[in-house]
Structures are given as structure tokens and as C-alpha cells.
Amino acid sequence: MTVSGRFITFEGIDGAGKTTHLDALEQAWRQAGREVVRTREPGGTPLAERLRGLFLHEAMDPLTEALLVFAGRRDHLRTVIEPALARGAWVLCDRFTDATFAYQGGGRGFDLTVLRTLESWVQAGRQPDLTLLFDLPPEVAAERLGAARQPDRFEALDTAFFERVRAGYRARLQQDPARFELIDATGTPQQVAERVHQALTRRGLA
């Protein structure tokens, strides 16, 4: 019998609360006896984590940002994601390529044609089975972030930047709606958790 893994990504602007719900889903699936591989982008491998440090803290132009993140993604896919899926694991990833299109494409205004070329080269058709997109007004996200931690160079950008990022995410959803579940991230954590559960139930993954 062929073992089939699942590749689930969590996306949204900084402060949308996605990581909280990723934590809960990871715990629930482990308790259900599934092999879960929890990972993130940028990062996910020793090499990609080093690139993450540069990406988040060093000034660079949008093309350099895109090249760095796709270089890390290539290593991440090759050494973590693809092997896990091949053995039937359930991969939960905090951000993936949609974030690149949202942040570099939407936020930075970088050429989407170049991003699509890099996506094709690096991923060879691999896309998540499901993407949970946590949607939140940027001003609400900024309030949450300000109370939580010191921002990195992306989190410190203005609301207008995050409005463009939010629009970039919506554009990705419109291009591939069957892959996405749009999660209203306003309200209490319990309310958002119920929306996540409903989305997973619709997909037969709860």
C-alpha cells in the first residue's frame, strides 16, 4: 500500500496568530498517532536557518531577498519536506512560497514573473495540499505584535506595507482557491481555533 503524507502550510501577516494554532494542531495530530514534522520558512534546515538570519536582519534589495529565501527553500524541500512526505509524515510548515509572493511581490512590489520562475525551478510543481491563510487587518496585527516582542526588520515596517502584503496573499488565494482555507483571525484565540477546526473538517483533516 502506498503511504501518502500531507503538506499543510500556515500563512498570514505578522501578528495574525497563526503560530498559536499551528502549535495546537501539531499537538492534536501527534496525540492522534500521526507522524508530524513541524518546520518553518525562512529556515527549516541548518543551512536555511543561517540564511534566515541574514534575511531577517540584514538590509538587502528585493531580488537578493527572493534569491536567499528560494535558496533556503530548495534545501528545505530536498532535505526535510520531500523525505517526510515520502515516508507518509504530515508536514506542518509555518510559511512557504505564498509568503514570498505576499512579502516580496506584494509588499516590496518585486516582479512576480521572476518569483514565478524561481518557484518553478525550486519546487518542480510541489505545492502544499492545504494552506490555512489567517487574515487580519494590519492595524490589529501591529497591536498584537507590539505587545508580544521586539520586531524584526519586516515586522517594523508600516501599515501600508502590510496592506500590500495582505493583498498579495489574497491574490495568491484567488489564483488557486482550491488549495486555500481563508481563516478570519479576528476575535479570541478560541473563536479562531473553532474556525480552524471547521476548515480542517471541511477538508477531512480534523
Domain count, the chain: 1
Structural domain includes residue 134: yes
Structural domain includes residue 48: yes
Structural domain includes residue 11: yes
CATH code, domain carrying 104: 3.40.50.300
Taking only the tens place, the pLDDT of each residue in 18-71 is 989 999 999 999 999 999 999 999 999 999 999 999 998 899 999 999 999 999
Task: Write out the E strands in the chain.
Answer: 6-12, 36-40, 90-94, 130-135, 180-184
How far from 175 is each of 48, 52, 85, 165, 168, CA to CA, in Å? 28, 27, 25, 16, 11
Structural domain includes residue 23: yes
Residue 156, domain extent = 6-202
Structural domain includes residue 139: yes
Its sign, for the CA torsion 45, 117, 18, 26, is: negative
Structural domain includes residue 116: yes
Structural domain includes residue 1: no
Structural domain includes residue 45: yes
Q: What is the largest CA-CA distance in the chain?
A: 51
pTM above 0.75, yes or no: yes
Confidence check: pLDDT of 1 > 60: no
Taking only the tens place, the pLDDT of each residue in 150-186 is 555 655 667 888 899 999 999 999 999 999 999 999 9
Taking only the tens place, the pLDDT of each residue in 63-117 is 999 999 999 999 999 999 999 999 999 999 999 999 999 999 999 999 999 999 9
